[in-house]
């Protein structure tokens, strides 16, 4: 199995400690960049599995940089490292904000939680086949590679075929938060999943919207 790829955006100043070596010791493939622009250019040809934005090392809140990254990186998990005494901004676009100081172990634990879980098996539901190791899905004549969050979202549905999944439940399982003040991110991810699965995404056969409640995965017996 290939190592998960983690991209870190951090200051290039030598006096700033880097979390890169701790992540590499845990087996992650680490790519260090020194600006959001440089990171996004690299991600266009080598998409990482997770992005760490070390705004604390740059002595900035990181909110604008995080929003810029979120706008370009469809559903990719983002960890924002914020300066001391910062307050997490739910509008930053980060999946998780860590405020310095904290240990490398804490960061590694959070990285593991945001990446797809047990990748040693495949899931099947009707015509839908999901390979979690490769984050690839096949449905009828379509094949697509998913981002980590898209794969996790589809995994949740495939473990709950035919069950109504409320927005709150999906956000808790996939984004690891109970914050439901803005469900647009979930709705956008559902749109992307439908493009990957549905013969006609505008008239979904599998991923059904249950108006005012949430979504349900329906597959033939």
Domains of the chain with bracketed CATH: 5-114 (3.40.50.2300), 122-217 (1.10.10.10)
The pTM (predicted TM-score) of the whole model is 0.55
Strands of the sheet with 29-33, listed across from one edge: 29-33, 5-9, 50-54, 78-82, 96-99
Residue 121: band (very low, low, confident or very high) from pLDDT cuts 50, 70, 90: low
Which secondary-structure segment (H or E) carries 114?
helix 104-114
CA atoms within 13 Å, Cβ hemisphere of 98: 20
Task: Using the predicted structure, report yes or no on whether residue 118 has a pLDDT greater than 80.
Answer: no
Contact 165, 156 (CB under 8 A): yes
C-alpha 22/C-alpha 137 separation (Å) is 32
Contact 50, 75 (CB under 8 A): no
Per residue in 45-70, pLDDT (tens digit) is: 777 888 999 999 888 888 888 888 88
The whole-number pLDDT of residue 76 equals 79
Report the pLDDT averaged over residues 9-22: 81
The whole-number pLDDT of residue 74 equals 65
Task: Using the predicted structure, report yes or no on whether residue 1 has a pLDDT greater than 50.
Answer: no
The whole-number pLDDT of residue 119 equals 47
Task: Name the token pair of 2.
Answer: 């290939």
The whole-number pLDDT of residue 148 equals 87
């Amino acid at each position: 199995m290939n190592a998960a790829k983690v991209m870190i955006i951090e200051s290039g100043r030598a006096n700033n400690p880097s979390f890169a070596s701790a992540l590499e010791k845990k087996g992650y493939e680490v790519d260090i960049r020194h600006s959001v622009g440089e990171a996004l250019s690299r991600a266009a040809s080598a998409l990482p599995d997770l992005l760490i934005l070390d705004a604390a090392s740059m002595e900035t809140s990181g909110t604008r940089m995080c929003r810029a990254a979120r706008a370009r990186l469809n559903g990719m998990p983002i960890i924002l490292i914020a300066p001391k005494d910062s307050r997490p901004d739910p509008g930053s676009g980060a999946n998780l904000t860590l405020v310095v100081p904290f240990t490398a172990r804490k960061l590694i634990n959070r990285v593991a939680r945001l990446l797809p879980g047990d990748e040693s098996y495949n899931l099947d539901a009707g015509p839908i086949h999901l390979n979690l190791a490769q984050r690839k899905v096949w449905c009828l004549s379509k094949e697509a590679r998913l981002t980590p969050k898209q794969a996790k979202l589809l995994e949740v549905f495939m473990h709950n075929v035919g069950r109504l999944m409320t927005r709150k439940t999906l956000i808790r399982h996939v984004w690891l938060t109970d914050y439901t003040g803005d469900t647009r991110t979930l709705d956008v991810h559902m749109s992307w999943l439908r493009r990957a699965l549905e013969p006609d995404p505008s008239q979904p056969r599998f991923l059904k919207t249950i108006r005012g409640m949430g979504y349900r995965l329906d597959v033939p017996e």
